[in-house]
Structure 1
Amino acid sequence: MYITIIWLPLLGSLVSGFGGRWLGRYGACIFSTACVISSFTLSLLIFYEVGFCGTICHLSLLPWINAEALSVQWGFLFDPVTVVMLVVITSISSLVHLYSISYMETDPHCPRFMAYLEVFTFFMLVLVTADNILQMFLGWEGVGLASYLLINFWFTRLAANQSAIKALVVNRVGDFGLSLAIFTIFYTFSSVEYSTIFSTVPFFQDYYFSFLQFEINSITAIGLLLFTGAVGKSAQLGLHTWLPDAMEGPTPVSALIHAATMVTAGVFLIIRFSPLIEYSVFVLHILVIFGALTAVFASMVGVFQNDLKRVIAYSTCSQLGYMIFACGLSCYNVSMFHLTNHAFFKALLFLSAGSVIHGVSDEQDMRRMGSLKKFLPLTYSVMLIGSLALAGFPFLAGFYSKDFIIEITQVLTNSNLNIAFSGLACWLGSLAVFFTAFYSFRLLYLTFINNCNMSRININSTHESNLLILIPLVFLAFGSMFVGYLCRDFFIGFGTDFWKISIFNLPIHSNQIEVEYLQIKIKWLPFFLSVFGVILASSLNIFSYRWFKKVKIVSFFAFLINKKWYWDSLYSKFLVRPTLNFGYNVSFKNLDRGFIEIIGPYGLAKMIPSWASMLKRIQTGQITHYLFFTTLGLCFFLVLLFFPLSNYIMISLPFSLYMVLLLFI
């Protein structure tokens, strides 16, 4: 059962991809969806056995790498963190597969699309079930590959090509940091197994590296490198630029990337290595700073976006910031709780946006919509639920996790513990709450409530989606309403032992106890900020907002935020363009076309005497010709070596070596 849950998506991918021509579109869709739904059913059984019954399963299958000190096996670890991720991944993936059957029905390459979705799910399952960091890195890279294939699914579009390459290149930075973290972990602990690393971390607190005459603490170095990997995958400030551009892929891809797979991998990495990161105070401070800045930055930029999917994409970036700085506050269980809740209402928002785009003839600009609640009543209802859950409306999923994170920052700020930068996280997190509510209801007003800005042709063709699209929306709406309430006591309830030793907990902080005794006005602060954001968004959409232009400071900040704080422009000016210019002027023109070709092939060809002009003709520059001559030489050598004439022609070992040398020359 445990291994089957991992191999079923791979089986569905292979059958749908290679057999899609014979299965047909519906056959490939049904088979791939059935495989993922079967994995979801098995994940529920595993969740009950591991999460509720307290049975941790560790499977070691086959030896993988055995090179002296490095010994790695194919192993799978099913602990509470893993089983929660399994339920999130397989449930969201099942609904996305079901949604895609209808959403992609007019695409001629639907079997290939379903195969890519299955590959995405398979590699994410490998990532979360690995019992060593090397196997986890395999799933990590596989998720990056699958995201490139899915973002670039419509590869005939230039924007899709550019977005896929951008996502791949930006994530290379984080992947490089993670690979360095793997090398550093092996150098420090002489192992890549989780059990060995986490059990011996306390013995390496005073272990230092000597680098360029600097003494660097090993735990701090490993934590920073792990955080670099998480920054790339989870789109934290600095490497966040790929996430909004990933919207060029089909909408089901956006829902899967933002809700359950790629962007959650970075947060999962931090939570998985919490027993190591907890021993470095400096890394915890970095997590708090970057997480809080990302939360407020992405929420502010989302206010000025007009593309329906990009607004939701920036909200994902903002919510990931909450998860990261919750880890920096040593509240890994709360971060995991918010990750679970966020998966449901974020998948709901993206799939609802896809239903809107599907119903209005592929229009994504919110300024060209309006009054759609009359034409798409069910989509409007579920999107309202998702927006309220995102804004932290009481008794919905976001209320139980996001507000709890802000309450913890208030506790740590006001307590005697006074963890560094908790005040920064408190203020920036509260400010992000206001902007989140503002852009959520701005989206609802522009799309569903304001006057219609569509053409008559598009209005007449607007229609509600069919059942295969609406059924996943209904299930996700129920998840957005009840998952937070049902899981709160298990995940972050006082005295719960659900996580056991899979997450590092600090009982000395007693955050859950102190939160209960906060003043009522402090606990309701996030709600009041959300209400203020809703009121402001409503007033700007109902009444005129021209008075904003008269306030110069507001206009300046609005212009600055509208340009995304010039992150993309700065990267383009100081990093991308110099790199491209160096590659063309120095590497290509001077080295490749200049030094190497003139001194190499062309120079050597001119040195050949005139009587050997036939050899010049061999240097055609075509790799196919070179392969032909190489193969011909190999065949000639084999004939001389094994042909019966070798009995008459004495071919000695030196002659054979000479022929091999000639072959390679």
Structure 2
Amino acid sequence: MTTLPLLLSAILAQAEHAGEAAAAVAERHGTEIAQAAHVSWLWLIPFFPLLGSAINTAFGPRLQKRYGKRAAHTVAVGAMVLSCIVAEVAFWKMFATPEHERFFEDHLWTMWQSGTLKVDLSFGVDPLGMLMTMIVTHVATLIHIYSTGYMADEPAYWRFFLWLNLFVFSMLLLVMGSNFVVMFFGWEGVGLCSYGLIAFWYTDIEKAKAGLKAFVVNRFGDFGFVIGLFILFWSLSGSWQDNRYVPDPGLANQKVLGAPAPAPRVSPAGVQLGPTMEFRELRNQISDESSGMSERLRDLTLWGMPVIALICIGFFIGATGKSAQIPLYVWLPDAMAGPTPVSALIHAATMVTAGVYMVARLNFLFALSPLAMTVVATVGCLTAIFAASIGFFQYDIKKVLAYSTVSQLGFMFIGVGVGAYWAGIFHLMTHAFFKACLFLGSGSVILACHHEQDMRKMGGLAKYTPITRWTYLAACWAIAGFPFASGFYSKDEILWKAWTAGGLSTPWIGHAIYVVGAIAALGTSFYMFRSYYMTFTGEYRGGHGHEDKERLEDPHAMAAHQHAAAAVTAPNDFAATADVVAATVPHQHGPDHAHDTHVHEDAHGGVPHESPNSMTWVLAALAFAAVVSGIIFGLPALWSGHEPLLEKFLAPSLPAAEKVPFAPASHSEELLFQFLGVAIAALGWITARTLYVDAKSQVPARLKESFARAWAVVYNKYYVDELYGATVIRFSLFLSRVLYWIDQNVIDSFVNFMGWVGRSVAYVDAAFDNYVVDGAVNGLADLIMNGGRTLRRVQTGHIQAYLFGALGGAIVFVILQYVIR
């Protein structure tokens, strides 16, 4: 027990006296040049989840069959706890290190090298990467623990946890990778794992389609990411002249055969220039004013467009896919087909924030292009209001949270788009807490209501699920933006920075983004409290048993909160399934079975009750973080007199933050906007309470009847899926049929024609070989054989014949000699 404190104290003591050389460099060249310190054990953070996934992949079925489901989740949760411990040690080591030294790297090996360009399998964390690592490991650990209760009756229990561990490993690759290649491995890895988790119940065709949809839509975004990366790589080593790429001497590092390799170009501050895959090296090249690289990227053009804008927009296209922004947001609502813990982990706290993290990571690039920043902020703004409006009329509790997630991601992109990078990441952190709490709370509600997700069939759950109710309410306070919870501090900072933004293409765009964002925030408060009042107030409107539709919502996990303990201790899948069936099939009970009445009553749609401790404790922890994290990490400078703690901590990772201009404003003006933020949250809450508390008001029904067409348009998500089906999908299917016809009738015909030509040539060649070559050979053979057969007659064996032959030869010889003479 004393090992960890001793290790921490040793690290803190070492950190206090280390880094004199780095400090000297920082003093000589300024803190813009990031110097890395080698930390040889960073690889352990992603390794433990990978190990847990590998163990459950190789031995999960055997372990579960022999030792019960406890073995599978012990491996998975244990791996996450170990990863958390190492991440904590790294965090405190970084926290005790001077700001200019907070760049840790761990190079494992070189994957490939070409000239001076190396791509290493290496991990690197700066304050931004460290924050993301802490969020991923800690929130994921809580969700793993929650899953032990929620998924307790799942026969493929081990498979769920292997996917969950593998996803965390991929996400840690994404946030800890020190270069684009490792990040892209993680980028694609989380896409693969999301497919496996969304389509976890793949026997249901709709769930399988949802997983496939998420996978395919993300591929569109990934294409933009790759194009942006290629253009960036080329831009660092050359330029485009007359639509031709021309390498620059000293940057391209091209070697002429037989000539010595040219020396790489180095800036006056000692930064090597040229193509690189490393984030820190790229940041140093652009942030170092003496290198001239930032001016070079600003001035380069391709096809008449600024190269830096093309690079950043390409990366942002990748972000719109992974982080569900217009137009690639359509996969995320359908992804609610996966188990609720998946929704909390992937679609609230981690994977969907990867795009926001990527833009913040490349802040030094985006800050060079007002056009790209405007695109990011505008798309985020439109996504926020668009998704918020859809959430107004949804009845599926998870769909409400899904569109809320899309909307909140829009707020994050507003933050990083206007140049308030720390505010966007701050909202990412607070969103991870309150949205994970909301999703897991919805899972608790779904189990309490016997897998019903329609809020019209809920109500009155406050008295049955008090812990779930209070945690869900706390998360609603946070997302709505009340000042006693975290969401107020992050969202208010984003909107305030949007209002004062000076780095966009035109000055009025910031004001427009604020207005639209404020309306979206009002909608957020309304639909979140609508979901709360429809779910927890009034009388319970369920209790009619498991209808077919309800069973199809969640065909595998059945009443996990009822018999989680029995399922965990079951020796194998068959015993667990038998426990489930026994709890859900009606029995004739005599007096001796009276103690089981409540179990079977609940299993058939009776009175709901609270979830097990493994779920409610996680909800309480997330609700606590959702409330206090804003005050701790983001207290406004207007209130405290100094910059927020998180802004100061992230400053070394965000060198462009000081270069993005914001309009000066008085304290009274900032206070006014903070008051407006609270008023917006309160207005949304009051409206939702008036219309939906206790389900007594008839106004929603009358409004629905009066504006039936408008309601139908919004309820059906503006028919965007239908529009994509009628355009993109139909065009894709048409194109596939055209290509199939071309393949069958053109390409195959050409191939068949070439085959006919080949066969014809072969026939001619065979005939020539048969009748000419073989004829000549056979004719010569026949001649020799016939000649031999004729000469063989001369050999009679009689001496008289030989003498007559010799005499005849002699006479011929004499005659020839006479003639010749």
For the pair 1:192 / 2:282, whether they are aligned, the reply is: no
Once the two structures are superposed, the pairs formed by residues 134-283 of structure 1 within 5 Å of their partners are 134-189=181-236, 190-201=275-286, 202-207=292-297, 211=302, 214-283=303-372
Shift of 1:551: 5.6
Shift of 1:374: 2.0
Flag structure 1 segments of 5+ consecutive residues without an equivalent. Answer: 613-665
CA distance in 1, matches of 2:173, 2:471: 32
Match of residue 31 from structure 1? 75
For the pair 1:543 / 2:697, whether they are aligned, the reply is: yes
For the pair 1:486 / 2:638, whether they are aligned, the reply is: no
- The one-letter amino acid of 1:203's match is M
Q: 1:532 aligns with which of 663, 679, 683?
A: 683
CA distance in 1, matches of 2:663, 2:536: 39
Structure-2 change in CA distance of 1:515 and 1:340 (3 Å): farther
Structure-2 change in CA distance of 1:210 and 1:384 (3 Å): closer
- The one-letter amino acid of 2:613's match is L
- The one-letter amino acid of 2:524's match is T
**SS, match of residue 650 in structure 2:** coil
CA distance in 2, matches of 1:40, 1:422: 39
Match of residue 574 from structure 1? 727
Q: How many residues align?
A: 604
Match of residue 9 from structure 1? 49
Once the two structures are superposed, the pairs formed by residues 65-464 of structure 1 within 5 Å of their partners are 65-68=112-115, 70-189=117-236, 190-201=275-286, 202-207=292-297, 211=302, 214-412=303-501, 419-457=507-545, 459-460=605-606, 462-464=608-610
8 Å CA contact 2:704, 2:711 repeated in 1: no
8 Å CA contact 1:247, 1:309 repeated in 2: yes
CA distance in 2, matches of 1:500, 1:35: 31
Match of residue 465 from structure 1? 611
Structure-2 change in CA distance of 1:124 and 1:549 (3 Å): closer
Shift of 1:487: 1.5
Match of residue 105 from structure 2? 58
**SS, match of residue 73 in structure 1:** strand
Structure-2 change in CA distance of 1:281 and 1:539 (3 Å): same
CA distance in 1, matches of 2:723, 2:329: 13
Match of residue 648 from structure 1? none
Q: Deviations over 1:311-343 (max 9, x none)?
A: 001111111111101111111011111111110
Comparing 181-190 and 323-332, the one that deviates more: 181-190
8 Å CA contact 2:50, 2:169 repeated in 1: yes
- The one-letter amino acid of 1:46's match is A
- The one-letter amino acid of 2:43's match is I
For the pair 1:563 / 2:610, whether they are aligned, the reply is: no
Structure-2 change in CA distance of 1:582 and 1:524 (3 Å): same
Comparing 241-250 and 359-368, the one that deviates more: 359-368
Q: Deviations over 1:568-591 (max 9, x none)?
A: 12111111012112313x222x23
Normalising by structure 1, report the TM-score: 0.86
Structure-2 change in CA distance of 1:103 and 1:512 (3 Å): farther
Structure-2 change in CA distance of 1:510 and 1:605 (3 Å): closer
- The one-letter amino acid of 1:195's match is R
Comparing 368-377 and 288-297, the one that deviates more: 368-377
Shift of 1:490: 11
Structure-2 change in CA distance of 1:216 and 1:516 (3 Å): same
8 Å CA contact 1:205, 1:219 repeated in 2: no
Structure-2 change in CA distance of 1:58 and 1:513 (3 Å): farther
Shift of 1:296: 0.8
8 Å CA contact 2:81, 2:141 repeated in 1: yes
Q: Deviations over 1:342-398 (max 9, x none)?
A: 100110000011111112221111112121222211111111111111111222111
**SS, match of residue 669 in structure 2:** coil
Shift of 1:509: 6.6
For the pair 1:42 / 2:86, whether they are aligned, the reply is: yes
CA distance in 1, matches of 2:120, 2:702: 65
Match of residue 581 from structure 2? none
Structure-2 change in CA distance of 1:420 and 1:470 (3 Å): same
8 Å CA contact 2:198, 2:211 repeated in 1: yes
Structure-2 change in CA distance of 1:57 and 1:550 (3 Å): closer
Higher relative contact order (CA 8 A, sep 6+): 2
Structure-2 change in CA distance of 1:571 and 1:52 (3 Å): farther
Shift of 1:412: 4.2
8 Å CA contact 1:292, 1:424 repeated in 2: no
8 Å CA contact 1:52, 1:498 repeated in 2: no
8 Å CA contact 1:62, 1:74 repeated in 2: yes
Q: Kindly, what percent of the aligned residue pairs are identical?
A: 34
Mark the structure with the bigger radius of gyration: 2
8 Å CA contact 2:309, 2:372 repeated in 1: yes
Q: Deviations over 1:265-322 (max 9, x none)?
A: 0000000000111010101111111111111111111111111111001111111111
- The one-letter amino acid of 1:35's match is A
8 Å CA contact 2:634, 2:644 repeated in 1: no
8 Å CA contact 2:195, 2:211 repeated in 1: yes
**SS, match of residue 327 in structure 2:** coil
- The one-letter amino acid of 2:378's match is I
- The one-letter amino acid of 1:573's match is A
Structure-2 change in CA distance of 1:509 and 1:573 (3 Å): closer
Comparing 133-142 and 55-64, the one that deviates more: 55-64
CA distance in 2, matches of 1:416, 1:161: 42
8 Å CA contact 1:13, 1:116 repeated in 2: yes
Shift of 1:528: 1.1
Shift of 1:431: 0.2
Structure-2 change in CA distance of 1:515 and 1:140 (3 Å): farther
Structure-2 change in CA distance of 1:550 and 1:144 (3 Å): closer
Shift of 1:65: 1.2
Alignment RMSD: 2.7
Shift of 1:70: 3.7
Structure-2 change in CA distance of 1:325 and 1:519 (3 Å): closer
**SS, match of residue 172 in structure 2:** helix
Flag structure 2 segments of 5+ consecutive residues without an equivalent. Answer: 1-40, 237-274, 287-291, 546-603, 764-821
- The one-letter amino acid of 2:284's match is S
Match of residue 242 from structure 2? none
CA distance in 2, matches of 1:608, 1:349: 69
- The one-letter amino acid of 1:396's match is A
Normalising by structure 2, report the TM-score: 0.70
Structure-2 change in CA distance of 1:261 and 1:519 (3 Å): closer
- The one-letter amino acid of 1:12's match is G
Shift of 1:221: 1.2
Q: Deviations over 1:171-191 (max 9, x none)?
A: 111100111112112111222
Structure-2 change in CA distance of 1:513 and 1:556 (3 Å): same
CA distance in 2, matches of 1:557, 1:345: 31
